[in-house]
Amino acid sequence: MKIRFKGLLNILKREVRLIAKDINIISVILLAPLFYSFFYGAVYINKVETDIPIVIIDWDHSPTSQKLIRYFDSHQSLNITRNATHLSEAQEMMNKGEIQGIILIPDKFESQLKKNQDGVIKMYLNTSRFLVSNDINKAVNEVVGYVNAGIAVKFFESKGLNYNQALNVIEPVRTDMRSLFNFTESYGDFLIPGILVLIIQQTLLIGLSESFAKEREENTIPDLFEQSNGSIFALIHGKSLFYFILYSAYSLMFFTINFYVFKIPFHGNTAALIILTFLLILSVIYYSLLISSFFKRKIIAIQFLTLTSYPIFLMSGFSWPINTMPLFIRYLAYLIPSTPYLSAYVRITQMGADIGHVIPELQHLAALTIFGLLLLIIRLKYICKKETECVYELNSTVQKHI
């Protein structure tokens, strides 16, 4: 036990010296997490889109249409940049990206309402940006619903009903929708927590992989094995202990300082999040060492792992449900540590879940951690044996020639 512990400390000291001399690793594990966590968070700091530019085409020019326009303009999501007289003019503005929607109030709109006929308002939305178009659609429907209710109530009040009776007539069945989580339907509250997790995973994956690939590139695996006193366990955990401590500190900072700065709510069980985060960091460490062991050049490892960032985000199930993905992609997604972690993490931080609610994800992540460690041990035993034998043969050859 003492030999293993001494070997672990030897590798830890050696790793700290290696990091201190490599500006690439320093930039990935020390600078990138801090910069990206605040930079990406700042992009979504407003969280909810307001004042979306639209154009109104009013062919009715009646008091009712003018009143309706004022209602549209007073909605926080809409900003009437200007009025237009022709649909082609407004469409040209949309093609140039100046507006995101067009609302057309047709001729005889007010007279049709007075005759108890339907008044149809047309909407033309830029659905290539579906989040924006959904916001416009929601805002317009809210305004129109308010106006419809007002017109109907006045009609039935003129027939002798009081306000409550009129309301019951026009809305015999009403919905009472209550948002349980993310009350403001904020895109920032949804996206920022997930981005912070992916920053932890990807910078750790790239930084540690760069370090181990450098060992292979410089043929220092035998020295690494020797300083660990021949213990694969000491080699793995001595090599990764600094990263584990560093990224545990990052996680604490992200879930406290960053959540506070960007006003992200935290409703769940802290102990559950700590256990899951420790397992995430361990599993990423093991997979980082395992993947990088197949690269003999540091630059190739960096290029390969950098290109995996976006696919991993897409497959994690954070931006799109996993059950809608093709079967083979689903299987790949289940091998990525962030997949079960993000599923549990969102429920803990945003929905108030405790550890009993995330047992399946906890088991999944624990299985990935154990599986990654076993594969890593097998792989490193093979590499250490192979490269130590190569060094021994090389030394023997040199001594013969001497």
Nearest to 148 by CA among 181, 184, 128, 119: 119
Take residue 198 and report the two structure tokens written for it.
Answer: 């992916």
Residue whose pair of structure tokens reads 């047709």 in the numeric block: 106
Take residue 234 and report the two structure tokens written for it.
Answer: 């000491």
- Quick check: 281 pLDDT over 80? yes
- What are the percentages of helix, strand and coil residues in the chain, rounded to 5? 70, 5, 25
Mean pLDDT of the chain: 82
Per-residue model confidence (pLDDT) at position 224: 83
Paired sense of beta strands 122-125 and 101-105, if any: antiparallel
* Inter-residue contact 217 to 299 (CB < 8 Å): no
Domains and CATH numbers, the chain: 2-44+186-401 (no CATH), 52-170 (3.40.1710.10)
Q: How far apart are CA 341 and CA 318, in angstroms?
A: 10
Mind listing the pLDDT tens digit for each residue in 90-116?
Answer: 888 888 888 888 988 888 888 887 777
Per-residue model confidence (pLDDT) at position 390: 45
Per-residue model confidence (pLDDT) at position 394: 35
Paired sense of beta strands 78-84 and 101-105, if any: unpaired
Residue whose pair of structure tokens reads 């924006």 in the numeric block: 132
* Inter-residue contact 333 to 342 (CB < 8 Å): no
| Rounded percentage of the chain residues whose pLDDT exceeds 70 | 86
Task: Tell me the average pLDDT across 341-360.
Answer: 86
Residue whose pair of structure tokens reads 């604490």 in the numeric block: 252
Task: Tell me the average pLDDT across 229-245.
Answer: 89
* Inter-residue contact 50 to 24 (CB < 8 Å): no
Task: Tell me the average pLDDT across 248-274.
Answer: 88
Q: How far apart are CA 141 and CA 143, in angstroms?
A: 5
Task: Tell me the average pLDDT across 340-348.
Answer: 88
- Quick check: 285 pLDDT over 90? yes
Higher-pLDDT residue of 402 and 14 is 14
Per-residue model confidence (pLDDT) at position 312: 82
- Quick check: 392 pLDDT over 50? no
First to last CA, the chain: 40
- Quick check: 33 pLDDT over 60? yes
- Quick check: 379 pLDDT over 80? yes
